[in-house]
Structure 1
Amino acid sequence: MADELDELIGFLSDRNPQVRREAVDIVRGLTGGEDGLRALAARADRALPALLRLLASAAGSGAGEAAADSLVNLSQDAALAARLVALGAVDAAMDVVARRGGEQPALARSLVMMLVNLTHVASGVAALLQVGDEKVQGLYVAKLVRSFCRSSSDSEEQDTFEYVASILVNISKVEAGRRILMEPKRGLLKQIIRQFDSTNQLRKKGVAGTIRNCCFEADTQLQNLLSLAEYLWPALLLPVAGKKIYSEEDRSKMPLELSSALSHEREAVEDSEIRQQTLEAIYMIVLQDDGRRSFWSVNGPRILQVGYEDEEDPKVMEAYELIGSLIQDAKYQVRNISKDKAFAGQTFT
């Protein structure tokens, strides 16, 4: 078996395109199981470079898609992901997506999925951010955001760039990534926030996680965040506003983007992680004086008060309560919203 696998890997570099195609199809099948992955990982020194070469050389043959699928499966292992980064997999993926993504959406989708795996390791994040080269730093990220925001689909199978949402979460976990996303001249965060209206849950969850991560910079980047308030507050507050119709009095104290959305019943955001992430983002913003003032200006306390009344998830409730405690500690006037819930609703006089 070992000799057969070595021979198979050799066929990945055969001069005959048909032989390469048949070999990579078999490799793709092997990566679908633990035994195959383990065997190929033991031969990573030969298998990984051969698969990367197929990405660039197999335009239109189908071999590129099979190679990309194989690399997606292999790169789920952190050690193999790091080796792929060292072999230039990030550059290779971005190059192929740029040149052939429009003609081969399935190939582009697989390569984006591979980039998700590669950005789970620090070296992959650095490579995608192009850290160390000021002339091109952030270029790959800008290209991915542009593709992410220009393409969408109601059918998840056809949404070529939906997994960019997960890449954005990964790179926004580090300061360098947040800095690139929040740089005003690039305008990337604004584009990302506007994707929160997507019906695609992967996109929505990725946007929520990215915003939340960027809010870790609220102490130094608050004005950049608040410059996007028109888009930021609806993205953060609507998921935690509950399903009730808000009174005309409540809505009169909100900007149009919020008051319009809260003037009718809505479908609840079922994903509790999204609700928790948006609340954590709000918390980091209202830690700052200007952030609290902005939160108050959109009637945010009332929105959280109403939303909390219908919340049942303990972790999400705790996130609501943390904001309530923060504002209470900041000496804002508070009142209990119910006898059996600990969150304090806020009103200002």
Structure 2
Amino acid sequence: MPTELEELVGFIAHPNPQIRAVAIENLVPYSVSQPSIFKTEGFTPIKHLKFLVKDHPKIAEHALTILINLTSDQKVLEFVATDDKFLDVVLSYVTEPTEPNANLLAMLLANMVKWDGLKSVATKKQPAPEKLQSDELVLNQLLDLFVKGADGSYNKHADFDYLAYVFADLSKHAEIRQFFAAQQDYDSVVPLNKIKVFTEHKSGIRRKGVASTIKNVAFDLPSHPALLDEDQINILPYVLLPIIGNEVYDEEEMNDMLPDLQLLPPDKQRDSDPNIIQTHVETLTILTTTREGRDYMRKIQVYPVIRETHLRVDDEGVREACDRIVQVLMADEAEPGAEEAAEGDDDDQVVEV
């Protein structure tokens, strides 16, 4: 005979909405403590949960919360992420300007894209809501949603911070790295230029996801000239500013730094998260892969910034990352092996969040 808990799971498919609402609300804690109860009968409860995303907003809220918890399991993740029709539902709902569960949908999408097969989202298209004024390409819609929704002006229920994690995980794939560095036809803007401004945002989720996305895009070597060019993507100020504090540099060092790094306010603080600082330093290391990149970073005095970061951030990962880029920047280019030293090591790999 089924247990009381199994009977409760069965009630999420009940035709009476009041019964569904009570059942699913009571089941939320069990998606963490006893997730196996949702994986019975060939994942039938999860099929019901996916359907309930379209139910009354409160029921949908609990269904999404349970799905977010359950998709930490690889088998459940694959079951959910391989459902193309469900993906279409998530994408169409998250872009709606009045959707009350938009943040939860963004969180679920951030989990779903951890399944590598979901890189196909890069080619998906759907009509864009008029308010969004975007392209039919879903990835462009998500980028515009991330930018326009940051202050709650697009959807009063959502800030869309978790889309930063969507971008970070999608940018593990080479074709999507190239997308982020390529100008889009519909608005003539490079996607990375839309999100780079959030490297110093108040939301740690945004900062972390954007930092990881930038690092992943840096692995596309043909994009390096555009990434470094002040008239194109100009990524360096957005990577360097988060790792700089209120330290004082000597006049010679300061005069050669990028204009954005000069005359910072005395209360300037570096990012409070050492993992984000480490990611930015690793991005700088990847950008030293070419001789042009190394020469440019020496010219704009990246070394003093790294020196001060190493001195002031008490974190082993940050210090090791600083040590690696210092070895590259301080190397004599005339010495044999200088090129190989700049090629990075096993720590310089695409990142997930």
Q: 2:201 aligns with which of 167, 174, 198?
A: 198
The one-character-per-residue Cα deviations of 1:243-286 (angstroms, maximum 9, x if unpaired) are: 3133444332233211133x534223232211111111111111
Which structure exhibits the higher relative contact order, with contacts defined as CA atoms closer than 8 Å and separated by 6 or more residues? 2
In the alignment, residue 89 of structure 2 is paired with which amino acid? A
Residue 103 (1) aligns with residue 109 (2) = no
The one-character-per-residue Cα deviations of 1:69-95 (angstroms, maximum 9, x if unpaired) are: 111111111110100112233222111
- Calculate the TM-score normalised by the size of structure 2: 0.79
State how far apart, in whole Å, the 2-side matches of 1:31 and 1:318 are: 38
Cα offset, 1:315, TM superposition: 2.6
Distance 1:147 1:171, change over 3 A: same
Aligned to 1:337: none
In the alignment, residue 82 of structure 2 is paired with which amino acid? A
Residue 74 (1) aligns with residue 73 (2) = no
Residue 122 (1) aligns with residue 116 (2) = yes
Whichever structure has more helix as a proportion of its residues is 1
Residue 152 (1) aligns with residue 145 (2) = no
Gaps in structure 2 of 5+ consecutive residues: 129-134, 336-353
Aligned to 2:14: 14
Gaps in structure 1 of 5+ consecutive residues: 334-349
Aligned to 2:341: none
Pairwise mapping of residues 255-266 of structure 1 onto structure 2 (< 5 A)? 255-261=258-264, 264-266=266-268
State how far apart, in whole Å, the 1-side matches of 2:18 and 2:293 are: 61
Q: Is the 8 A contact 1:55 1:96 kept in 2?
A: no
State how far apart, in whole Å, the 1-side matches of 2:29 and 2:305 are: 51
State, as a whole percentage, how many aligned pairs show the same letter: 22
Aligned to 1:211: 214
Aligned to 2:343: none
Question: Number of residues paired by the alignment?
Answer: 318
State how far apart, in whole Å, the 2-side matches of 1:18 and 1:312 are: 53
State how far apart, in whole Å, the 2-side matches of 1:43 and 1:180 are: 41
State how far apart, in whole Å, the 2-side matches of 1:81 and 1:96 are: 19
Aligned to 2:339: none
Cα offset, 1:198, TM superposition: 0.4
In the alignment, residue 141 of structure 1 is paired with which amino acid? L
Pairwise mapping of residues 29-44 of structure 1 onto structure 2 (< 5 A)? 29-33=29-33, 35=34, 37-44=35-42
Q: Is the 8 A contact 1:193 1:231 kept in 2?
A: no
The one-character-per-residue Cα deviations of 1:158-194 (angstroms, maximum 9, x if unpaired) are: 7531111222221112212212222222521111111
Residue 27 (1) aligns with residue 27 (2) = yes
State how far apart, in whole Å, the 1-side matches of 2:320 and 2:94 are: 42
- Calculate the TM-score normalised by the size of structure 1: 0.80
Cα offset, 1:299, TM superposition: 2.5
Aligned to 1:344: none
In the alignment, residue 108 of structure 2 is paired with which amino acid? M
Question: 1:329 is paired with a residue of what secondary structure?
Answer: coil
